[in-house]
């Protein structure tokens, strides 16, 4: 069913008549805000986060005075969506490629339109940057310590097999002794 939903959203996204429609974008963002925390992580990372990053990028590049109210509305909806998504588990790749770029664009909007909320957005960004750094450290530890871990595992397995062999020999001896 996720493939169908994904295909339907792709049709809307690729249709130029809907792409720049303010109300459609607003409804998409509000819908994603509601479903994203409950959606499958693959759908969240492959579609929702990149879509929100694209909308955030387009919104931050809007400079017309006439569109400031719409820009603020989209920025507010994006803030709600990113706040909901910040409570979910994300891969380092999705944080790096979609989540943080969208938040950086949103920060540009907030710096101009809602300066009082920039501190909250900075907190979310800092938290995600910290998570990304932890992912990088964890992956470097795994890569650097692979041989040691394999040797430890191999040693434990061999020790366990030796203990198992010794215990079966003792068990066999006991059965033979009782006869």
Q: Per residue in 38-53, pLDDT tens? A: 888 888 888 889 989 9
**Residue 80 reports pLDDT greater than 60:** yes
Same domain, 178 and 118: no
Q: How many domains does the chain have?
A: 2
Same domain, 95 and 117: yes
Distance CA 101, CA 53 (A): 6
**Residue 18 reports pLDDT greater than 80:** no
Handedness of CA 103, 112, 16, 9 (dihedral sign): positive
- DSSP-assigned letters across all residues of the chain: -HHHHHHHHHHHHH-HHHHT-HHHHHHHHHHHHHHGGGS-HHHIIIIIHHHHHHHHHHHHT---STTHHHHHHHHHHHHHHHHHHTTS---HHHIIIIIHHHHHHHHHHHHHH-GGGHHHHHHHHHHHHHHHHHHHHHHHHHHHTHHHHHHHHHHHHHHHHHHHHHHHHHHHHHHHHH-
Q: How confident is the model at residue 143 (pLDDT cuts 50, 70, 90)?
A: very low
Same domain, 44 and 12: yes
Same domain, 108 and 155: no
Do 45 and 90 form a contact (C-beta atoms < 8 A)?
A: yes
Q: Which residue has tokens 């998409």? A: 28
What are the structure tokens assigned to 87, written together?
A: 């409570």
The string of pLDDT tens digits covering residues 106-134 is 999 999 999 998 999 999 999 999 998 98
Provide mean pLDDT across the span 153-177.
53
**Residue 146 reports pLDDT greater than 50:** no
Ranked by mean pLDDT, the top range of 4-18, 96-110, 140-154 is 96-110
Q: What percent of the chain has pLDDT over 70?
A: 72
Domain that holds residue 78: 2-144
The mean of the pLDDT values for the chain is 79
Same domain, 179 and 119: no
Distance CA 60, CA 81 (A): 16
Same domain, 35 and 81: yes
Same domain, 128 and 139: yes
Q: Select the more confidently predicted residue: 37 or 76.
A: 76
Distance CA 160, CA 146 (A): 21
Distance CA 82, CA 122 (A): 12
Same domain, 33 and 120: yes
Same domain, 153 and 138: no
Name which of 49, 40, 43 is nearest 95 in CA terms: 49
Same domain, 63 and 139: yes
Same domain, 171 and 130: no
Same domain, 94 and 59: yes
């Amino acid at each position: 069913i996720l493939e169908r939903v994904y295909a339907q959203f792709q049709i809307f996204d690729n249709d130029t008549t809907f792409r720049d429609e303010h109300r459609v974008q607003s409804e998409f963002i509000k819908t994603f805000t509601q479903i994203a925390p409950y959606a499958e992580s693959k759908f969240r990372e492959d579609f929702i986060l990149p879509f929100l990053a694209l909308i955030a990028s387009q919104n931050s590049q809007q400079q017309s005075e006439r569109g400031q109210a719409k820009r603020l509305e989209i920025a507010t909806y994006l803030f709600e969506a990113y706040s909901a998504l910040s409570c979910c588990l994300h891969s380092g790749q999705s944080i790096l490629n979609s989540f943080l770029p969208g938040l950086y664009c949103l920060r540009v909007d907030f710096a101009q339109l809602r300066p009082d909320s920039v501190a909250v957005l900075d907190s979310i960004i800092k938290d995600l940057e910290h998570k990304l750094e932890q992912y990088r450290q964890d992956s470097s530890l795994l890569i650097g310590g692979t041989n040691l871990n394999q040797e430890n595992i191999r040693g434990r397995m061999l020790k366990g097999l030796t203990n198992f062999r010794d215990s079966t020999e003792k068990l066999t001896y006991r059965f033979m002794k009782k006869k």
